[in-house]
Amino acid sequence: MKAVILCAGSGTRLRPFTYTKPKQLLPVANKPVMQYTFDLLKKSDVFEVCMVVNNENQYDFENYFGDGTEFGVKIEYVIQAEPLGIAHAVSKTEDWVDGDDFILYLGDNLILEPLTEFINKYHKTYSSAALILKHVDDPSRFGIAELDGERIVRVVEKPKNPPTNLAIAGIYIFNPKIFDLIRKLKPSWRGEYEITDAIQLLLEDQEKITYQVMDGWWKDAGKSEDMLDANETILEEVIFSEGLSQEMLAHKENSVLDGKIKFGRGCEVINSKVNGPCILGDNVILKNCEVGPHVSIGNDSKLKNVKVEKSIIMEEVKLEHLNSKINRSIIGSRTEIIFDSDNEGIKLLIGDDNFIG
């Protein structure tokens, strides 16, 4: 089984962070979203990956992941030059798929369950496609599946009046017939070639499509609130199975460490309290701080006289002398927020599409 991962979107809902890097490279618990996808695929015995990227972000992915050797997978890259939809992106991988069955994975999805059972069910039922479904509260945001008993009878993309609340959770399996059906598609009302339309053609051809309703956690990490929720869940359930980690802590002075905390190399914690679960990258310095719970701090960040909880702080961030607690926040790499109590007023250098509350 191979895997096709779609990463060609522009990530407009996650601006300003996606001005400088693709959303799949944004960190959750100090690890890029895409790296969790690779971990999931490896647990499911899938090691060959084709990443569909665009002309603007191709270098970012190739520079970070290379050919995948460091991450335990084999990666090839295919370009989708125009944002013409999921089915259009899939069509670019036909030569790479080369007649095999393949998993299609939307690159901003995060799940914790291995795909082994899903893959086995697809093979055992001799299906032409398989979908992972999930009950959601806002079905109009997703492709939706309509069932009749145990059969999928219809799929529809982002309906205004959803027939069910069973969302297609951005993970599919297809056999090569899907490419023939994609060639028959016409653009939808959104101007895109929809994968749901190709699935509907499979249904009309009486092809067997199986499905699995996911009980566990799933997040479409396409918005800032989704990233914060994912950060919280992964800190709780994934990072800290081994418990408290202090062996990498370079210096601790007059500080309290409570709960599950993971430190990178060279961290210093001085006159501070850290409430887990939290993860601190390499060379993080905390002075007179209260951090946690549910905080991830990237490499080489420095915090002084700051309180922060339930937040993502990326690499090389500098925060000093903040009177208000930072809560449910994402602070991008190389940001500096410093209040100087000796001067009147606040100096701000803020780019486009930011929010300060």
Domain residue limits at 259: 242-338
pLDDT at site 253: 86
Exposure string of 3-30, with b = 16+ CB inside 10 Å and e = fewer, is bbbbbbbebeebbebbeebbbbbbbbbb
On whether both 37 and 133 belong to a single domain, the answer is yes
In a domain, 29, yes or no: yes
pLDDT at site 48: 94
Q: How many CB atoms lie within 10 A of CB 163?
A: 15
Residue that is last in its domain, among 190, 208, 236? 236
On whether both 206 and 296 belong to a single domain, the answer is no
Query: Are the CB atoms for 322 and 339 separated by under 8 Å?
Result: yes
On whether both 255 and 115 belong to a single domain, the answer is no
On whether both 95 and 179 belong to a single domain, the answer is yes
Per-residue pLDDT 10s for the chain (357 aa) are 899 999 888 777 788 887 888 888 899 999 998 998 998 899 889 999 999 999 988 899 999 999 999 999 999 999 998 888 899 999 999 999 999 999 999 888 888 888 888 999 898 988 888 998 888 888 887 788 888 777 888 888 887 888 888 888 889 999 999 999 999 999 888 888 888 889 889 888 888 888 888 887 887 777 788 889 989 988 988 666 555 556 667 788 899 998 889 898 899 999 999 998 999 999 999 999 999 899 999 999 999 999 999 999 999 999 998 888 999 999 988 888 888 666 666 666 676 677 776
The whole-model pTM stands at 0.87
pLDDT at site 296: 95
pLDDT tens digits, residue range 255-286?
A: 999 888 989 889 999 999 999 899 999 999 99
On whether both 284 and 229 belong to a single domain, the answer is no
On whether both 246 and 262 belong to a single domain, the answer is yes
Tell me the three state secondary structure of residue 242: coil
Q: Which residues contact 73 (CB under 8 A, 6 or more apart)?
A: 38, 41, 42, 47, 48, 49
Question: Which residue has 């028959």 as its token pair?
Answer: 184
CATH assignment at residue 100: 3.90.550.10
Half-sphere exposure of 102 (CA within 13 A, CB side): 26
pLDDT tens digits, residue range 171-184?
A: 999 999 999 999 99
On whether both 254 and 221 belong to a single domain, the answer is no
Question: Which residue has 């090569």 as its token pair?
Answer: 176
Residue that is last in its domain, among 236, 256, 278? 236
In order of 65, 209, 211, 326, 346, the CA distances from 150 in angstroms are 40, 10, 9, 47, 61
pLDDT at site 67: 93
